[in-house]
């Protein structure tokens, strides 16, 4: 992803496409989208990944988290006239070098999340999938107790630490 | 940064990250995340969880031509979407909802004003302006109401809310928010109910009219 961002490397983008396009298609089709429409979404999402690569920050997000957000925004745009309101981007100091230890820590947490997901019983896994595909209301999410919230909580702590660290550097 | 004591419930953050929150609430969540590092971190954690679901999804074979189509389109020129930055007390998502203009305030009586950002079948979201010491007029809500303080502060039976704080009120909560002294209180408020503000009969007149 970094070669795509920094060098506009088409070979690297092609590899990203090979990994994510079939998974994106599977992800989008899980919520009942037809194969043809799913491919339109995959095309739009992958083009957005290329065009907005400059916004990707490995210290903030895993590639999959970033692509997930782009995919959900695209799906929302297709059903609603108003897109989803998004938070302001954090104004980061361009002089601040990404902290390698933060990137490693984020990767570890993401690894924990994937392990936790793969260990879930099929019915639990289905609840999580539905939640993150936007098929559960917030009331339904809050009544679910099976979400692997522990892993999410540790990521929140980690993310908060990093955000505070970054803002301190700016002052 | 302000000390924010009242945060976004996790289920709302998860639902927002998944894109399934009705638009009025989503605007309040986006505005709160713009002001609150704790909830930004929570949002990013849910994005990561969504990413993990995506990465572990079953791969479905794509048509042969799709990749070459995408590769051929990489150099197509595009117009970037406009980005709205914070303006004064208003976070970027609110500025976007205002289309970059100043709020158009409409009086509700007794110095209280509102500016409706959007209203429809999904509910409504509006800005409220409440002079110091004034109560928020009766505004019965059938469902969930989210109120984010942008300027000043207010207090009610459940506590004190300053800039960046979010009050989450369900339909069972009978509350009378009153703006504290100092600056007028300006809030962003969303409900999933139709607007029920009774502009000429604010709360303090209700005992007189017996309603």
Q: Answer for the pair B195, B116: CB distance below 8 angstroms, yes or no.
A: yes
B15/B198: higher pLDDT:
B15
- Please report the beta strands in B102-197, taking only residues with DSSP state E, as ranges in sequence order: 106-109, 112-120, 123-130, 145-151, 154-156, 159-161, 166-169, 178-179, 185-191
For residue B40, list chain A residues with Cβ-Cβ distance below 8 A: 87, 90, 159, 163
Whether B204 shows a pLDDT value over 80: the answer reads no
Best residue in A19, A59, A88 for a mutation probing chain B (most B CBs within 10 Å): A88
Contact B79, A22 (CB under 8 A): no
Q: Where are the alpha helices (DSSP H) in chain B?
A: 10-17, 23-35, 37-55, 64-73, 92-97, 206-209
- Residue B90: pLDDT band with limits 50, 70, 90: very high
Kindly report the pTM of this predicted structure.
Answer: 0.86
At B163, the pLDDT band (50, 70, 90 cuts) reads very high
pLDDT of the residue at B5: 84
Provide the pLDDT for residue B122.
78
For residue B83, give the chain A residue with the closest CA.
A88
CB pair distance less than 8 Å for A47 and B42: no
Out of B29, B30, B41, the one facing A156 most closely (by C-beta) is B41
Q: What is the pLDDT of residues B101-144, one digit of tens each?
A: 999 999 988 899 999 998 877 788 999 999 999 988 666 666 88
Residue B166's pLDDT band, with cuts at 50, 70 and 90, is very high
A88–B12 C-beta distance less than 8 A: no
Q: Does the beta-carbon distance from B15 to A76 stay under 8 Å?
A: no
- Residues B42-57 pLDDT 10s: 898 889 889 989 998 8
Cβ contacts of B57 on chain A, cutoff 8 Å: 23-24, 26-27, 30
* Reported ipTM exceeds the 0.90 cut: no
Nearest residue on chain A to B49, judged by CA atoms? A113
- For residues A32 and A138, is the Cβ–Cβ distance under 8 A? no
């Amino acid at each position: 992803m970094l070669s795509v961002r920094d060098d506009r490397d088409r070979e690297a983008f092609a590899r990203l496409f090979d990994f994510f396009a079939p998974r994106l298609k599977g992800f989008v089709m899980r919520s009942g989208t037809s194969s043809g429409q799913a491919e339109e979404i995959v095309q739009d999402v992958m083009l957005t990944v290329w065009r907005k690569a400059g916004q990707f920050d490995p210290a903030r997000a895993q590639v999959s988290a970033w692509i997930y957000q782009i995919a959900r925004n695209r799906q929302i745009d297709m059903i609603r006239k108003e897109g989803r309101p998004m938070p302001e981007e954090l104004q980061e100091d361009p002089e601040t070098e990404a902290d390698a230890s933060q990137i490693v820590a984020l990767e570890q947490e993401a690894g924990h999340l994937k392990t936790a997901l793969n260990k879930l019983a099929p019915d639990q896994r289905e609840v999580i999938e539905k939640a993150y595909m936007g098929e559960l209301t917030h009331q339904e999410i809050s009544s679910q107790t099976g979400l692997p919230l522990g892993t999410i909580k540790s990521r929140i702590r980690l993310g908060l630490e990093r955000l505070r660290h970054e803002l301190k550097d700016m002052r | 940064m302000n000390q924010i004591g009242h945060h976004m419930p996790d289920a709302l953050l998860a639902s927002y990250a998944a894109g399934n929150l009705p638009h009025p609430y989503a605007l309040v969540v986006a505005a709160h995340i713009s002001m609150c590092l704790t909830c930004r971190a929570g949002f990013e954690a849910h994005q990561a969880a969504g990413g993990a679901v995506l990465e572990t999804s079953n791969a479905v074979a794509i048509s042969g031509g799709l990749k070459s189509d995408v590769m051929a389109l990489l150099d197509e020129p595009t117009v970037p979407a406009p980005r709205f930055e914070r303006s004064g007390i208003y976070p970027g998502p609110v500025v976007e909802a205002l289309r970059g203009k100043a709020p158009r305030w409409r009086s509700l009586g007794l110095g209280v004003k509102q500016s409706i950002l959007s209203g429809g079948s999904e509910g409504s979201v509006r800005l409220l302006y409440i002079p110091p010491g004034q109560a928020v007029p009766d505004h019965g809500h059938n469902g969930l109401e989210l109120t984010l303080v942008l300027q000043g502060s207010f207090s009610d039976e459940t506590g004190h809310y300053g800039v960046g704080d979010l009050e989450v009120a369900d339909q069972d909560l009978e509350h009378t928010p009153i703006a504290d002294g100092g600056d007028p209180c300006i809030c962003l408020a969303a409900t999933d109910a139709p607007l029920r503000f009774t502009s000429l009969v604010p709360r303090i007149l209700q005992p007189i009219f017996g309603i």
